[in-house]
Amino acid sequence: MASTESSEIDFVILADFVEVIGGKLYLMGGAWDRINVRDAAQPLRFGVALGVLVPWNGTNQNHSLTAAIQDADGNQQGMLMESTFVAGRPPELRPGSTQRVLVAVNTLAAPPPAGEYSLVASIDGQERRRVNFTVVQA
């Protein structure tokens, strides 16, 4: 009987800067849910770290991964990332094991107006995780 397990997003972290090196996540100024914008005319720099859990039966397959920003009414305000990924099966991986794929995205963009927003992460077109944050005009 085939498993119906699908990839999940283990975590989404908003940060000032993120990167993945050697299978490890590094971040600075992480886990915020409120950001102060001093000058709306200046670009806003921030990063998003995602941990994707890929089950055994989801390896060696192409998957799409998106991260979009929505306003409080659910209207999309922009696409932060659109990508594809494949998690292989290393020879030492125990059958049935789940793997974590780490993704780090940094952006420099015009800040959205002050208000409530969500970063919505989806795998293969299905929403898997939502993180709320507030933009405050300082």
Identify whether 102 is part of a domain.
yes
Domain count, the chain: 1
Tell me the pLDDT of the chain averaged across its residues: 94
Residue 65 near residue 122, CB atoms below 8 Å:
yes
Q: Is residue 13 scored above 50 in pLDDT?
A: yes
Identify whether 13 is part of a domain.
yes
31 φ/ψ angles, rounded to the nearest 5 degrees: 70, 30
Single pTM value for the model:
0.91
Residue span of the structural domain in which 76 resides = 8-137
Q: Are strands 126-137 and 34-37 parallel, antiparallel or unpaired?
A: parallel
CATH number at residue 42: 2.60.40.2550
Q: Is residue 1 scored above 60 in pLDDT?
A: no
Question: What is the token pair recorded at 1?
Answer: 């009987």
Identify whether 2 is part of a domain.
no
Closest to 8 in 3D by CA, of 90, 84, 65: 65
Identify whether 1 is part of a domain.
no
Identify whether 3 is part of a domain.
no
The secondary structure element, H or E, covering residue 25 is: strand 24-28
* Alpha helix stretches (DSSP H) within the chain: none
Position 2 scores a pLDDT of 40
96 φ/ψ angles, rounded to the nearest 5 degrees: 90, -5
